[in-house]
Amino acid sequence: MQRYIFRRILLGILTMFIVSMIIFAMVRIAPGDVAYTIASQGDEEGTIPEEILEEIREQLGLNEPLLTQYKNYFVGFITLDWGVSYFSQQSISKEFLRRFPVTFELMFLSIMVSMCLGLPLGALMALRQDTWIDYSARVFSLAGLSVPNFWSATLIITIGMLYFNWAPQVSYVSFFEDPMGNLTLYFWPVLTLGWIVMATQARMLRSSMLEVLRQDYVRTAQAKGLSERVVTMRHVIRNAMLPVVTVISFTIIVSMGGSVITEQIFNLPGIGNYLIQAMSRRDYPVVQIVVLLLSFWIIIINLLTDLLYAWLDPRIRYS
């Protein structure tokens, strides 16, 4: 197990190194000039003298060789010296720590809501196969998989404004300052993001449980006179959870990525909103650091998922 974890960590470091090079290359080849954007301050009509643009590039280090720029970027990430934003001149690390709790709360609440609703719904669909409950739940979960979260979020805001005179709050309220106001602020974003996550978990658990229910050891347990509850909890659920764990880890990753659009639509000052603002302004340091941190998050979740397999199924061994 130790050797496996060590190899996975090395593979994760290699993956982050490759991702960092891809991110660095993509933000550099994107159309536009960050120096012109800074100098114009949104005024696209005026002509900026080339001397001013060169001075800005010199201050930002954009005139240095690309290899030097990449070295400074990667070494800064490892040493936690993430630099400052080109536009706000604020520390990226401080801004990240300020915004991360917003994104984490959205992701955590979405995962909790989806698991509390999706897993029981998936089990109910399997135990009541081909009944009206199964058909209704399958349609509901299929809609969750089919409807993009940006469309459902936009639809919620549009219907709320047209028919209920409701709009998302402009100002963010911390949970520690006003718990009820904070949960009210997160209600619709969590449902929007959690619907997709819940649908994925429910359909996977249904499929996995139907496969387990047809196994010989389940029929043997039923023939011994064990109650449906004991058979389901002791023999079916645990054996059916192995593929569901993969789906849960995937939905954790999806919820982090989905928060980028959800935060922008519902005006939540999280990491996703921060990333979109940086991309629109070609704020190289912010884009590079945030995307690399998201990649690091994906690597960690995948590693923890693989380790959880061995706990759920003792037959799994890592050499």
Q: What tens-digit pLDDT sequence spans the chain (319 residues)?
A: 677 677 777 877 788 788 888 888 877 776 666 666 666 665 555 566 677 777 777 777 777 778 888 888 888 888 888 878 877 778 888 888 888 888 888 888 888 888 888 888 888 888 788 888 888 888 888 888 787 777 888 888 888 777 777 777 767 777 787 788 788 888 888 888 888 888 888 888 888 878 777 777 777 777 777 777 777 776 677 777 777 777 777 777 777 766 777 888 888 888 888 888 887 777 778 888 888 888 888 878 877 777 776 666 666 665 5
Single-letter amino acid code for the residue at 283: D
Calpha distance 175→129 (Å, rounded): 41
- List the domain range (segments joined by +) for residue 32: 16-78
Same domain, 58 and 130: no
Q: Are residues 163 and 129 in the same domain?
A: yes
Residue 319 lies in a domain: no
Looking at this protein, which amino acid is placed at residue 16? Answer: M
Residue 244 located in a structural domain: yes
Residue 180 lies in a domain: yes
Q: Taking the model in full, what pTM does it have?
A: 0.75
* Residues found in the chain: 319
Q: Is residue 87 part of a domain?
A: no
Taking each helix axis from N to C terminus, what angle separates 66-78 and 284-312, rounded to the nearest 10 degrees?
A: 50
Q: What angle do CA 250, 256, 259 make, to 5 degrees?
A: 135
Q: Which residue has the tokens 């998936």?
A: 122
Structural domain count of the chain: 2
Domain check: are 38 and 125 in the same one? no
**Has residue 11 been placed in a domain?**
no
Determine the Cα–Cα distance for residues 275 and 281; give it in Å rounded to an integer.
Answer: 10
In a domain, 83, yes or no: no
